[in-house]
Structure 1
């Protein structure tokens, strides 16, 4: 397993589907030299998702082959679809960036936390049930998908207290600013404080 160096950090955004965690993750990444590592999944792309930008969409067969070759750090099954993070992708990203971010469900977040310990910072992003449903409707998820996501809502919310940080996403710019400040506290910038 890859040994994460002291100054390398993995920020994991987790929380209910529709909480805005991916949008916030992308916003915060623009402030820092932070790169994402995408999950591989066997599900079909949603109408607003792009290959190589949101996920790597692969067939069951390809996923299985990658799993047999021990390419994945973690694999989870959600609603009959498989998701996995490739270790080599994290290693390659760390070659050019000290900060990596991922958007994962609690199970995946937990696995990476156990593997990499203090180098993993979990940021739980949430919104109340009605807001989450509304956001999923606004991005035109179909009713079946929304019902599937909402079936996990309470279980996902239970993970909130297990994370290093939890923020309610009530206002994107405000919350992205709060997360940026939070990320800043993990960076060893060696600032020299001078008294005026």
Structure 2
């Protein structure tokens, strides 16, 4: 599906350019602080749509439907795959995750930026299906910082924690496939937020704008 640019006439008779929004894909190992950085940028008044992924995993304490995921059964998830309602889907940490197609396309068409929080496996699929997206990788200050954050969350069993640490090692090795790298050091949240905001602003100042095309 091609998201076209429209050029309506303003009351003065001059042409105003309305472009589709930009699609930003943000990946990071679990525990790096994706949600914290995104929420901090939102609090500054930045206007972009954060996609709520669909997942088969159960909600954690403090989570609810749509915040930060749409929680569905395995049966419903399979139905969404069959109906082509997901741009991509993958099994991560023993659970299924997917990105809903319609809200992404609708917001882009309305000229609103969209941000996808997604693992490296899903990002690789989106990279093939969505030319024009901007890929950003968030990394911790060190692996030791990451392990400390995961331990502090106390939301996983020891087995799950070990799996996430092992997965993080693999994911960190994939950062070369991203256009931007942001380091989210412990106690330096503002620096990471500033860099994410700067990237989003810079992409809107390109002399040759990116145009997002979602392919089936």
Using the size of structure 2 for normalisation, the TM-score is: 0.80
Larger of the two Rg values belongs to structure: 2
- Other-structure match for 1:155: 170
Give runs of aligned pairs for residues 87-126 of structure 1, distance below 5 A: 87-118=101-132, 120-126=133-139
Q: Tell me if the contact between 1:33 and 1:97 (Cα under 8 Å) persists in the aligned partners.
A: no
Displaced runs of 4 or more, over 6 A:
none
Alignment partner, residue 193 of structure 1? none
Q: 1:51 to 1:4 in 2, by over 3 A?
A: farther
The answer for unaligned runs of 5 or more in structure 1 is: 191-196
Query: What residue is the counterpart of 1:173 in the other structure?
Result: 190
> Structure 2 stretches of 5 or more lacking a match?
6-18, 208-216
2:35 equivalent among 6, 17, 22: 22
Distance in 1, Cα, partners of 2:20 & 2:84: 27
Deviation at 1:189, TM superposition (A): 9.2
Aligned runs of 1:56-71 on 2, under 5 Å?
56-71=70-85
**1:164 and 2:179 aligned:** yes
Map Cα deviations across residues 132-172 of structure 1 (whole Å, 9 max, x no partner).
Answer: 12112222222333222112012101111110101111111
Instruction: Give the match for residue 3 of structure 2.
Output: 3
Does structure 2 retain, via aligned residues, the 8 Å contact 1:35–1:97? no
Aligned-CA RMSD value: 2.0
- Is the Cα–Cα contact under 8 Å of residues 134 and 179 in structure 2 kept in the other structure? yes
Q: Distance in 1 between matches of 2:4 and 2:159?
A: 40
Matched positions, count? 189
Alpha-carbon spacing, 1:53–1:4, altered in 2? closer, same or farther (3 Å) = farther
How far did 1:103 drift? 0.7
Structure 2 partner of 1:82: 96
